[in-house]
Structure formats: structure tokens, C-alpha cells
Amino acid sequence: GQQLNQSPQSMFIQEGEDVSMNCTSSSIFNTWLWYKQDPGEGPVLLIALYKAGELTSNGRLTAQFGITRKDSFLNISASIPSDVGIYFCAGQLYRRDDKIIFGKGTRLHILP
């Protein structure tokens, strides 16, 4: 079945640094989604990408839908303490009611 490989698994950075994480897949997806999850809460949608090559920003976050449709990356610029959490990439095959496959997550830590 489809699998998403998300890396890195965890990151330890200084406040103010930029962050980059990515997801690759063995299968093509028509939608890529990036979520952030805080402890004890559900994932919150950060960015949705619907078109190959699309580059979308949401404040300090930027994500791109790879041309091959098999990868996506998320960048966070000038990290702040509230960026701490787990970031998940997710891919959806065709329709909006298709199931979504999640990556294993990237745990972001910010060092004091």
C-alpha cells in the first residue's frame, strides 16, 4: 500500500532558526496536506496543496507540492517557541473523500 516517508523524525533547533522537513512517497498523490499537532489535541491544518509544483505560504510557513507528485516539503522561517509540536504530512489520492495517508511525523523541539 501507499506509504509516506517523512523526515527528519525529530529536530532540535535554536529559536529564530529556519526549519525544513519533507515527505516522499512511492505513489502519486493529488493532494498534499501539512498538519501540526499539539499534545492531547487533534491535528490542525496548516497548508493544503492541490496542484503539482504549487508553492503556498501561510505566514512563516511555506510548502510545496513536488512536480513528480511524489513529494512535498514544509519550511518554517524564524522559528518561535509556539512552533514546538509534531508536524505531519499527509497525502490524498484523488477525490476529497478519499482516505488520507499520514507520514510518521516530525517532532520539532526548540532549545532555550
85 makes contact with other proteins (CB under 8 A): no
The answer to whether the beta carbons of residues 6 and 23 sit under 8 Å apart is yes
59 makes contact with other proteins (CB under 8 A): no
Q: State in angstroms the smallest separation of the CB of 80 from other proteins.
A: 23
112 makes contact with other proteins (CB under 8 A): no
Which positions from 16 through 35 interact with other proteins, judged by CB under 8 A? 31, 33, 35
The answer to whether the beta carbons of residues 3 and 102 sit under 8 Å apart is no
Q: How far is the CA of 20 from the CAs of 7, 93, 94, 97, in angstroms?
A: 9, 24, 27, 29
41 makes contact with other proteins (CB under 8 A): yes
Q: State in angstroms the smallest separation of the CB of 35 from other proteins.
A: 8
Q: Is 67 exposed, middle or buried (0-12, 13-18, 19+ CB in 10 A)?
A: exposed
The answer to whether the beta carbons of residues 25 and 7 sit under 8 Å apart is no
Q: State in angstroms the smallest separation of the CB of 49 from other proteins.
A: 10
Give the interface with other proteins as residue ranges (CB under 8 A): 31, 33, 35, 40-45, 48, 50, 88, 90, 92, 95-97, 99-105
